[in-house]
Structures are given as C-alpha cells and as structure tokens.
Amino acid sequence: MARNCPVPFSSYSKLSLLVFINLILYPFTEGQTSGFSTHLIHRDSPKSPLYNPSDSNFERLHDAFHRSFARAQYFNKRISHSRSKLLSHFSSDSIQSNITSVTGDYLIKVSIGTPAVDVLAIADTGSDLTWTQCRPCIQCFKQDAPLFDPSKSTTYEQVLSCHAPLCRLDPGITVCYPGNICGYGVAYGDKSFSDGDLATDTFTFESSSGGNISIANVAFGCGHQNGGTLEETSSGIVGLSRGALSIIRQLNASIAGKFSYCLVPRNSNFSSKIHFGTNAVVSGPGVVSTTLYKKAGDTYYYLDLVGFSVGNTTIPYHFTKLDNSSPDDEGNVVLDSGTTLTFVPRQMYQPFESEIIDLTKGTRVPDPTGADLRVCYNKDNNLQIPKIVAVFLDADLILPPNNTFAEVSDGVVCLTIVPSDDTPILGNQLQINFLIGYDLVNGTVSFLPTDCTKNH
C-alpha cells in the first residue's frame, strides 16, 4: 500500500448522517429476534484456548494483575499513529484513537462471512472497532486459526469510497487510502496495532440457548497489517464500547441500546454470558441503577463514584491529577470488563486503606505476587473482613469479600483495589457475580447481585 492521503471530509447535514446511522443498524437475519445471549470465555478458564494446565491458578492471577497495571497505564491517553511502519500509511493527524491494552480478559466467538469462518476475538468494552486479520496479509501476528479470506465470502463488501457515510462515522478510526479507498487504523497502549480495509459482512453468534444468530452488514476492519502482543489463539477484537463503529452501536436499532453480562469467578468451569436486547434487561428485587455518563470525544462507560463505605465510615471520592487540574465532576470512573484490578484515586485510596486495616481482623503479610498489592492477610478462620460498599449516584453496591479480596497464593488473600494517579477504573474482579446491564437509550447501568454460574 502506498502512503495514505487523507481526504478532507465535507460537512454532511445532521439529518443525513442520522438517517444513515439508522440504516446501518441492521436487524437480525436469523430468528428475527430482538434479544440473544452468547458466551464470554475468560482467557484463564479451562474453556479458553489460552489455558495452560501447567500454570497454577495463582500464576494466572498474577499475570492478570500485571495486565491490569499495563492496561491502566494507558487507559486515559490518546495516540497518533507515529510508528514508522504506520507512517508509511497514515498522516500523523489522521488517527486519534483511544488507547487501552489490547490484552483483555475475555474472549468471544463469532463467525464472519458466507460461508462462515470462525473467529475467536477479545471482547472489549474499552475498544470501538471490531477487526480481524485478513488475507492478503502484509504483516500479521501468528494465529492458530486460518486467516479470514474476504474473497471467499459472498456477503463481504468493502467500503470503497472515502465519501461513504460509513467511512465518516468515526474520523478517529477511519482513514482514506490513495484512490479514494476507505480504510481504518487502530493502535493500543501495549504497542499492538491493526490497519486495513473498512468493510461489512455477515456476523454469526452462537446463541447460549442453542442455534445461531446471524446479523447482516456489520461494519468491521479487515486487517492486512497487524502486530503487537496478541496471542496466537485470538484473531482480533470485538469492540463493545459506545463508539459509533462498535458492535453495540451498530446493533442499536435491534437491541434498543441494551446489553448486559454476568461474569463468573475466574476459576469456574462455567462460561460467563453476554446478553443483547430483550435478554439484557436487568430487573427484579435487589437491582440498583445509576447514571451512565458520556464524555465528549470518549467512548468509555463512565459512572459517578461517590465513594466507598467501610463498616460505618464513608470515604468520599477525591481525585486531583498530577498536574493539579480538576477532572470532570460527573462520570469520574470507567466501568471496564478488560481490567482485573480496580483502580481508585490515590487521595481516596489512602483513607480507604487505613479504614480497611483498622477494621479487618487478621494477620497482615507482605504481598507475595510482586504486583505491589498493599493489603494482604493470612487466610484462616480468624480472618474477618469488614463490609465494603461502592457508593454510586443513587446506587449502593454491596461488595462480597470475594469481589474485593483474592487468594493470590496458598493461604494469602490481598485487596484487589489499588491506588492510581491516573484514570480510575472499576475492574472485572469487582464485577463478578453481578448481572450488569447497560442501557444506552436511558443512560443507566444496573447491577443485580446473583450467581452467574446459573442460567440467566
């Protein structure tokens, strides 16, 4: 490919763009249902192709902690494609995509094309575009499954014009190749990247209740140049953020802006599940709901964390950036499925940690993981952990001990909430055994404590 020449997009009317966005939100083509569920596979579960039986549960957990720190390090940053290899394709100002670590914790199986080709990808609420490696491959990371070959799919359609409305939905991702061909480029904080053609094809999901759900004309990236730290068993990313090109936004008309998931404990023999549409509604006794915030130019899922209560003491949210600037008052923490640990502002963490230590009955020990976890105890019959509640706007979330402490080595448990000088993140350890529903239409997130190993 020759060097990319970005085309300045002329302004379309808001009405035309809204009409087009509604046109690309295609209905389901099999079963004509507005709700379905499929499996989420934790990368460390026995059901995952990444599972290594020679690794102990503790080793897998330690790796997850280190991935969390890497992901958090980049979560609030922006990136331009400045790597020399990408500069041969993109101008320096053509891409401004959100950075997260691409090595998320959950995998999702999807089939692309007609006939369908199975793809195992990272399911990520912190990523926008769905993409997979494609033939012909200029540069690809090694993957176990065959590369998707668009020439063999009868339903594959490349977005041929940079002036096509689909190519204008997310200027932070889409680019224009010479010859007025629409492409895309994404880069991640762990130096993984993908660029190639923007296209549409049929996506088929395996329903957890049996059968398949096919969705026509889903926009995705067909990656011809990819690299970084992705594992051989994965083939790309399924973007679950609120970005214009994410799967969630593309299915909006069919799923009414609703999806939910229920994460099982990481050592469970059951799969977690993700639900869309009518299957994603979270209701019933015990449900608490809070406001879902959207920030300009950002596609993450933000909640308003008021503070934590430990025992009878409430520690209010407090965050001052290192540059002494004040972050937004509303929507101060990201709800993320791809990060294991929970990160809270250091100014808030200090009194939180002190209260935990004061009220916990047990024997403190050093962190055996090397991940710099600050609060660890011997796990024995004498250990008593105080009640911890995450206090959100209009919602108090009572956190069971297994959501805030994890057994990191034989007989040692550590607090999985850690201090940060960067973007606060509510990680997936804290979310286990909650049915968590996102409603993008009404702007809410709902939590229902439950046993996620049961069928929902």
For residue 139, with 0-12 CB atoms within 10 Å meaning exposed, 13-18 middle and 19 or more buried, which class applies? Answer: middle
Evaluated on CA atoms 421, 425, 428, 430, the torsion sign reads positive
Cβ neighbours of 101 (radius 10 Å): 25
Cα separation, 320 vs 329, whole angstroms = 11
Category of 247 on φ-ψ map: left (φ > 0), alpha (ψ -120 to 50) or beta: alpha
Cα separation, 143 vs 188, whole angstroms = 19
Cα separation, 430 vs 22, whole angstroms = 35
Three-state secondary structure of 358-397: HHCECCECCCCCCCCCCCEEECCCCCECCCEEEEECCEEE
Structure tokens at 214: 């096919």
Cβ-contact 403, 432 below 8 angstroms? yes
Residue 336 falls in the annotated catalytic set: yes
94 residue type, one letter? S
Cβ-contact 312, 387 below 8 angstroms? no
Cα separation, 319 vs 298, whole angstroms = 19
Active-site residue, selected from the candidate residues 124, 128, 195, 439: 124
Structure tokens at 262: 């229920």
Residue 323 falls in the annotated catalytic set: no
Give whole-number Cα distances, 249 to 24, 56, 174, in Å: 10, 38, 16
Name the DSSP class of 271: P
Active-site residue, selected from the candidate residues 44, 128, 195, 336: 336
Cα separation, 65 vs 129, whole angstroms = 25
Cβ-contact 98, 421 below 8 angstroms? no
Whose CA is closest to 301, among 128, 106, 109?
A: 128
Cβ-contact 220, 132 below 8 angstroms? yes
| HSE-CB of 399 using CA atoms within 13 angstroms | 28
Cα separation, 225 vs 422, whole angstroms = 31
Residues tagged active-site: 124, 336
